[in-house]
Structure 1
Amino acid sequence: MKKIKGSCLCGVVSFEVTNTFEKLFLCSCDQCRQITGSAFASNLFVGIKGFDWLNGIDDIIKYQVPGRDISKSFCRVCGAGVPWANGNGTKMIVPAGSLNEPVNVVERIRIFASEQPIWASELEQTPAHAEFPDLS
């Protein structure tokens, strides 16, 4: 099976993973929104055997949300999100934005949609720009 590469923003942390992801969760829970600073977290799930660290494992910091099976791993240099193992160590959770190539996903699921902020519910109708719009 083909592997693809991913990394943090600065490239200190890098990894490769089998390009067959079981699920893509777009999560709008309060904790995921706070962890990402966005409308939702976009996390891919893959078996632990399909994942290998290439560089920077000692440069990863992990924050565990108290009382929940929610965590955030990030590069200590640039702060970008990087993969982490689930609670029982059987799956790797890979932030979709950390991958450098297109992904193959079996199933896409939106979760905790009831916690999605009102401002995010109309994103499809928001004008799109290829770059920064003129701010003057």
Structure 2
Amino acid sequence: MTRLSSGSCQCGAAKFEIEGDFEHFFLCHCSRCRKDTGSAHAANLFSSRASIRWLSGGEVVRTYRVPGTRHQKAFCVECGSALPREEAGGNMLVVPAGCLDTPLDMRPTAHVCLSSRAAWDNGLEDAPGFDGLPG
């Protein structure tokens, strides 16, 4: 049976379905991915076989490419949420894991670009945890 995943942006303007399996799930620590997410890393799923179908909001999706590089990001112009994009002439689907609404049964395949990892990203498992915001 073919995997069917669904997702959306934060404001709900863009909704999509993905048919097919993901081959890789990378946590990328490069400086560009940190800038894209405002966090320690990007969490992206990759597939050369899956296809995407926009259910709504295809017109609110924009893609930004860092000049002179292959690095790009798709996002909703209404809320700024990261969204899926096709790369390599449509031969690779890249899906930010956080935009999926369907539970993901895949664990990250690897951390990549660790040579440019932020110094504050080491030992995070030692930081205290809370189920909600701290009081």
Is this a same-fold pair by TM over 0.5?
A: yes
Distance (Å, rounded) in 2 between the aligned partners of 1:128 and 1:19: 35
Contact 2:27/2:112 (8 A) holds in 1: yes
User: What displacement does 1:88 show?
Assistant: 2.5
Residue matched to 1:74: 75
The one-letter code sitting in structure 1 at the alignment partner of 2:73 is K
Is residue 2:95 matched to residue 1:108?
no
* 1:2-23, Cα deviation, whole Å (9 max, x unpaired): 3121000011001111362100
Over the matched positions of the two proteins, sequence identity in percent amounts to: 37
User: What displacement does 1:109 show?
Assistant: 1.4
Contact 1:72/1:81 (8 A) holds in 2: yes
In structure 2, the gaps of 5 or more residues are none
Residue matched to 1:59: 60
Question: Which SS does the other structure have where 2:90 is aligned?
Answer: coil
Question: Which SS does the other structure have where 2:109 is aligned?
Answer: strand
Q: TM-score, normalised on structure 1? A: 0.91
Is residue 2:46 matched to residue 1:36?
no
Q: TM-score, normalised on structure 2? A: 0.91
Residue matched to 2:131: 130
Distance (Å, rounded) in 2 between the aligned partners of 1:107 and 1:122: 18
Q: How many residues align?
A: 134
Change (3 A) 1:96 1:124: same
Distance (Å, rounded) in 2 between the aligned partners of 1:104 and 1:61: 28
Q: Which moved more, 1:103-112 or 1:51-60?
A: 103-112
Question: Which SS does the other structure have where 1:119 is aligned?
Answer: helix
RMSD: 1.6
Distance (Å, rounded) in 2 between the aligned partners of 1:35 and 1:97: 13
Distance (Å, rounded) in 2 between the aligned partners of 1:9 and 1:19: 23
In structure 1, the gaps of 5 or more residues are none
User: What displacement does 1:122 show?
Assistant: 1.5
